Chains A and B, each alone.
Chain A
């Protein structure tokens, strides 16, 4: 008897302790009331170690800048793979509830996907009061959750513009197209004059680029009504316009449809097969690395517009730093994420060699040094300045699906395939819509038109 009651006591005590621990562990996640400034200051002055997963190379420099202000917080940086490999580890962590970092890099396009599986913490209570002013407007709408949470800190972005070969344009008497109509006419003119040169290449394996162009044209494919109810409109007027436009151009043969991100494609830029690249703000530097033989011949301009006189763009790519809900040090993690992406001592590193990211922080975008940069590859043009003003024209209210990997894969199998085979791109867009709706319903969502 004695033994049993003792056993009960021990078990009871450890159970209670466990429950207390459990509730303590959940505290940061449930924090309804924001910690006071003093509490945050105290947290930042307590020796803490946080883990940070990112594939941005050399980010130790930013961590150093952070530690100059917060020496008590130790940041362990880990590169667990780029893109897919990195996300898989996040998913595994989410599934097992173990092994997650405190802060992780998450691209804008995957924020709703990871929010859906409950990975991201709401850091609104921990970030500074003027958080929203620190970043470009449209990026704030990207990191804001359906309930007004702040789910991540914008790091870098990819507002879309047009890089073009000045020499080829001059040679064939083409002026920089201001509208998509002018662009199509120029494409036909150029390819007729020299069948080996294309005004641009429309890659059948780059859903992100298509998405950015459709974003410009006004598509709003996913509108969340609630956590489990979405309005899905992948073939709305904006997307349909873009699909028809590029379908026609590719079918006519005036624009090539080579797959991107392989040697042949890189060589195409280097050998003058493609006269423009419709790309994001991170594109200029990437191109300078791949098409060295054409240095000095390129220039940057905004995207052509659907209506003359308009000035709208879309975004392709870019990342954030997100705090994990499972983190036990959410305050330190959130302050760190905000600091490296907005403090000038850190963003000046982000936006210059060798990282060369196009920053999301407004202070970094307006910094003299950043705007004054005149790369030789673009014949001394202030390319950053061009993209900084494009950045202000990115439409604000675009949102992503809660299962973006699947959407991109379906895009590849429908729209991408139609582009590569010169098929009916408009019909393919309808198939994309149908397949994604089917998937959403199978996953338990309700879909409203």
Chain B
């Protein structure tokens, strides 16, 4: 009896600790989600009010070419931007960890600082540099008599945004990877040195393989970030108004459905569809990462 009492006591104490989190989690995450889900089954019109429509909004979203075009665009963005960003983050983390450069602490901060700049400010700043006539790059091209790069052309706009996002988040990912490296035991390095491995070899054969879980973590964060792309293209609306439009990314589309077209119900359905896609892509990435690991183990 006594031990049982002790056990329940312990359990209820655990619950006590979790409650503050649970309360906020329910209020700020679960409740809005449930409410959005509820809204997505209705249709409210300016004339005639609200009525229950079942899955109509979801059926409409599945057939909505603008939604899929936006989704394809952020998918492309993910494939283009994330590998480059993570590669850069990895290289920076390894270089700083190698101790081969001077002022490594300063460099670390320098690479991380863009993450502290609000995305709105970063986009305004880059937008200014990108300006087709009087931007810094355009002025440089003029000075050097080279053709101007049209950063807001049909093909260049997405890479232009990718550049901004990379600049913003490379430091963040670098810090995650660097922290992971710092946690590795150094015995292996010493052993490898004794065996005659140089610092390149140590980085490639010891650090990188151990970094896999950290890289995977960064990758999952990036999946979510890429598919929810919103702030940067929205801030660039006045720079490339006819290329970046209200359907450019799924998030922009949902926002516009809710606040421009006044169709909150459809916006809710689109948001759920987007959530589902992010969930599926995350699972896909996880499965692929596991497979790769198992395959390698098998080879060894």
Partner-B contacts on A (CB < 8 A): 84, 88, 91, 116-117, 204-205, 227-228, 258-264, 267-268, 271, 273, 402-403, 405-406, 409, 412-413, 416-417, 419-421, 439, 442-445
Residue B242 contacts which of A260, A273, A412, A444 (CB distance < 8 angstroms)?
A: A412
The answer to whether B241 touches A420 (Cβ under 8 A) is yes
Q: Which of B108-116, B124-132, B197-205, B285-293 contacts A (4 or more CB under 8 A)?
A: B124-132
Residue A204 contacts which of B48, B128, B242 (CB distance < 8 angstroms)?
A: B242
| Complex Cα gap A205–B245 (Å) | 10
Check if B45 is an interface residue, CB within 8 A of chain A.
Answer: yes
Min distance, Cβ A269 to any Cβ of chain B, angstroms? 11
The answer to whether A263 touches B46 (Cβ under 8 A) is no
Fill in one digit per residue for B227-251: 1 if any A CB lies within 8 Å of its CB, else 0. Answer: 0000000000111111001100000
* In the complex, chain B residues 127-144 whose Cβ is within 8 Å of any chain A Cβ: 127-128, 131-135
Residue B132 contacts which of A261, A264, A405 (CB distance < 8 angstroms)?
A: A264
With contacts A264-B133, A405-B260 taken as known, whether A205 is within 8 angstroms of B46 at the C-beta atoms is no
The interface residues of chain B lying within 8 Å CB-to-CB of A268 are 133-134
The interface residues of chain B lying within 8 Å CB-to-CB of A417 are 242, 245
Fill in one digit per residue for B135-164: 1 if any A CB lies within 8 Å of its CB, else 0. Answer: 100000000000000000000000000000
Q: Interface centre among B128, B133, B242, B262, by most A CB within 10 Å?
A: B242
The interface residues of chain B lying within 8 Å CB-to-CB of A444 are 45-48
Check if B166 is an interface residue, CB within 8 A of chain A.
Answer: no
| Complex Cα gap A420–B241 (Å) | 9
A406's nearest neighbour on chain B, judged by CB, is: B261
* In the complex, chain B residues 42-92 whose Cβ is within 8 Å of any chain A Cβ: 45-48
| Complex Cα gap A409–B132 (Å) | 24
What 9 new A-B contacts, CB under 8 Å, besides A259-B239, A259-B241, A268-B133? A263-B131, A264-B132, A264-B134, A405-B261, A406-B260, A406-B261, A413-B246, A420-B241, A443-B45
The interface residues of chain B lying within 8 Å CB-to-CB of A445 are 46-47
Min distance, Cβ A243 to any Cβ of chain B, angstroms? 16
B256's nearest neighbour on chain A, judged by CB, is: A409
Interface CB pairs A-B, < 8 A, 16: A84-B259, A117-B46, A258-B132, A259-B238, A259-B241, A259-B242, A264-B133, A267-B131, A405-B259, A409-B246, A416-B241, A416-B242, A420-B242, A444-B45, A444-B46, A445-B47
The interface residues of chain A lying within 8 Å CB-to-CB of B47 are 227-228, 443-445
The interface residues of chain A lying within 8 Å CB-to-CB of B46 are 116-117, 402-403, 443-445
Residue B131 contacts which of A260, A262, A402, A442 (CB distance < 8 angstroms)?
A: A262
The interface residues of chain A lying within 8 Å CB-to-CB of B241 are 204-205, 259, 412, 416, 420
| Complex Cα gap A442–B265 (Å) | 13
Residues of B in contact (CB 8 Å), total 24
Fill in one digit per residue for B161-179: 1 if any A CB lies within 8 Å of its CB, else 0. Answer: 0000000000000000000
A267's nearest neighbour on chain B, judged by CB, is: B134
| Complex Cα gap A32–B259 (Å) | 34
The answer to whether A262 touches B239 (Cβ under 8 A) is yes
Fill in one digit per residue for B252-280: 1 if any A CB lies within 8 Å of its CB, else 0. Answer: 00001001111000000000000000000
A95's nearest neighbour on chain B, judged by CB, is: B264
Residue B261 contacts which of A84, A228, A439 (CB distance < 8 angstroms)?
A: A439
The answer to whether A88 touches B259 (Cβ under 8 A) is yes
| Complex Cα gap A235–B47 (Å) | 24
| Complex Cα gap A107–B241 (Å) | 23
The interface residues of chain A lying within 8 Å CB-to-CB of B131 are 262-264, 267
The answer to whether B127 touches A406 (Cβ under 8 A) is no
Min distance, Cβ B79 to any Cβ of chain A, angstroms? 26
Min distance, Cβ B157 to any Cβ of chain A, angstroms? 12
The interface residues of chain B lying within 8 Å CB-to-CB of A116 are 46
The answer to whether B262 touches A403 (Cβ under 8 A) is yes
B262's nearest neighbour on chain A, judged by CB, is: A403
B133's nearest neighbour on chain A, judged by CB, is: A264
Q: Interface centre among B45, B256, B262, by most A CB within 10 Å?
A: B262
| Complex Cα gap A261–B47 (Å) | 35
Min distance, Cβ A402 to any Cβ of chain B, angstroms? 7
Min distance, Cβ A296 to any Cβ of chain B, angstroms? 22
Min distance, Cβ B95 to any Cβ of chain A, angstroms? 35
| Complex Cα gap A273–B138 (Å) | 16
The answer to whether B134 touches A421 (Cβ under 8 A) is no
Residue A412 contacts which of B132, B245, B259 (CB distance < 8 angstroms)?
A: B245
A268's nearest neighbour on chain B, judged by CB, is: B133
The interface residues of chain B lying within 8 Å CB-to-CB of A260 are 238
Min distance, Cβ A312 to any Cβ of chain B, angstroms? 29
With contacts A204-B242, A444-B45 taken as known, whether A263 is within 8 angstroms of B259 at the C-beta atoms is no
The answer to whether A406 touches B134 (Cβ under 8 A) is no
The interface residues of chain A lying within 8 Å CB-to-CB of B259 are 84, 88, 91, 405
| Complex Cα gap A442–B237 (Å) | 27
The interface residues of chain A lying within 8 Å CB-to-CB of B127 are 262-263
| Complex Cα gap A263–B129 (Å) | 10
| Complex Cα gap A403–B46 (Å) | 9
| Complex Cα gap A413–B261 (Å) | 14
Min distance, Cβ A329 to any Cβ of chain B, angstroms? 28
The answer to whether B262 touches A421 (Cβ under 8 A) is no
| Complex Cα gap A261–B238 (Å) | 6
The interface residues of chain A lying within 8 Å CB-to-CB of B48 are 444
The answer to whether A421 touches B242 (Cβ under 8 A) is yes
Min distance, Cβ A53 to any Cβ of chain B, angstroms? 17
A260's nearest neighbour on chain B, judged by CB, is: B238
Fill in one digit per residue for B17-46: 1 if any A CB lies within 8 Å of its CB, else 0. Answer: 000000000000000000000000000011
The interface residues of chain A lying within 8 Å CB-to-CB of B128 are 263
With contacts A444-B47, A445-B47 taken as known, whether A271 is within 8 angstroms of B242 at the C-beta atoms is no
B236's nearest neighbour on chain A, judged by CB, is: A262
| Complex Cα gap A251–B213 (Å) | 55
The interface residues of chain A lying within 8 Å CB-to-CB of B260 are 405-406, 409
Min distance, Cβ B57 to any Cβ of chain A, angstroms? 12
The interface residues of chain A lying within 8 Å CB-to-CB of B245 are 412-413, 417
| Complex Cα gap A228–B127 (Å) | 43
Which 5 A-B pairs have CB atoms at the shortest separation, nearest pair first? A444-B47, A205-B241, A420-B242, A444-B45, A444-B48
| Complex Cα gap A443–B286 (Å) | 43
The answer to whether B238 touches A262 (Cβ under 8 A) is yes
B135's nearest neighbour on chain A, judged by CB, is: A264
| Complex Cα gap A412–B45 (Å) | 23
The answer to whether A267 touches B246 (Cβ under 8 A) is no
